[in-house]
Amino acid sequence: MTDSLWLWILLAVVLVVVIGGTGLVVSGRRRRGDVPGSPTVDAPTDASTDVRPAPTAPTTGPTPPAQEPAEPALDVPEPVGGRLARLRGRLARSGSPFGARLLQVLSRDHLSEDDWDELEETLLLADVGAGPAGELIDALRTRVRVEGVKDPTAVRAMLREELVRLVDPTLDRTLATTRTVRDDVEVPAVVLVVGVNGTGKTTTVGKLARVLVAEERSVVLGAADTFRAAAADQLQTWGSRVGVPTVRSDKDGADPAAVAFDAVRRGREDAVDVVLVDTAGRLQNKAGLMDELGKIRRVITKEAPLSEVLLVLDATTGQNGLNQARVFGEVAGVTGIVLTKLDGTARGGIVVAVQRELGVPVKLVGLGEGPDDLAPFDVESFVDGLLGDD
């Protein structure tokens, strides 16, 4: 064999060895998963791509129970005593146009006939009414003439005395909210609240509930104004603030007498002190009002006697308020009056006029917009407020 042949054989063996080694290297890389363009399996990965859950520490002991939601804190109504004194101070600070004008005229050195006419006009503009205004003027003229009084302070004292007499401190203004006995069983006092829409009737019921809670009385509210969609919601909101339940119907336009009956029955079952029943304020015609309120009264008295029928009037409505009072007085058997918006002092004489019209006393007055701005009516505090005696 020639030398050249051996040389070719040697070169062929070398090539085979080189090519085989390269294949082993490539094979080894692929077995490790090292494919071109991707990291090797044992290369460290960036933390942002690691989606494995973090290890959690082992828990010991039982899982704590879920916390119950805290009950909302109830309102604490302002004590009833001193509420009208607050009105007295408010009237005195603001200056009553009614009282100020009377005092301005009476402080003159000599009262002419025109002066007395001006006094009477002031009383009429304050809605005192023609009859009571004439009485007051006659009484003052007689006293000034007979007693020869000229000192403004003495005249002011006379005016105060005559106004107190006119508002009449002899009327019984207590609110009948004491449980009574019927058929040897104690039943709650039932207060029916009536009046036209817009006078603040439902708000007054809510505020009266606060007055009773402040006196540590237990109360149930009856939302028998079923014709005004928001009335029941409004009443329930007032009650929930002081922990007082509200009996209502889930259906608009439901029978108000049925709601009133359920409220009184609930009051009996729960042995509460007072049931307050709000009614619809529609005044479409006298016959319809009589039928509706008559039915409510009959149904309520099957469970408990009526203790009070309170008529809510807006003190700023003047003669319109008197017309409303007249109709409700004939229909509902009103036992007491609640005057709202009495913080406006120019029409304070409505107290006298409405009492004369119905022959029943003003028992409560609304002093403003606050939740505790409802107070028992006190004659002397009211008159002092009108005259600016702080």
- The annotation places the binding site for GTP at 195-202, 278-282, 340-343
Q: Mind spelling out the 3-state secondary structure of 283-326?
A: CCCHHHHHHHHHHHHHHHCCCCCEEEEEEEEECCCCHHHHHHHH
* b (16+ CB within 10 A) / e for 96-130: bbbbebbbebbeeeebeeeebebbbebbebbbbbe
Q: Locate tokens 């051996």: which residue?
A: 6
* b (16+ CB within 10 A) / e for 367-383: beeeebbbbbbbbebbb
Residue list for the binding site: 195-202, 278-282, 340-343
Q: Which of 283, 76, 299, 297 is nearest to 199 (CA)?
A: 283
Provide the 3-class DSSP secondary structure of residue 242.
Answer: coil
Rounded Cα–Cα distance for residues 95 and 292 (Å) = 43
Rounded Cα–Cα distance for residues 340 and 315 (Å) = 6
Long-range contacts of 257-260 (CB under 8 A, 24+ apart): 257/224, 257/292, 257/295, 257/296, 257/298, 257/299, 257/300, 258/299, 259/222, 259/223, 259/224, 259/226, 260/192, 260/222, 260/224, 260/296, 260/299, 260/300
Residues 6 or more apart from 111 whose CB is under 8 A from it?
105, 144
Residue type, 209: A
Q: Locate tokens 């002991």: which residue?
A: 61
* b (16+ CB within 10 A) / e for 147-183: eebeeeeebbebbbebbeebbbeeeebebbbebeeee
Rounded Cα–Cα distance for residues 205 and 211 (Å) = 10
Provide the 3-class DSSP secondary structure of residue 364.
Answer: strand
Which token pair is 290?
């009589």
Residue type, 278: D
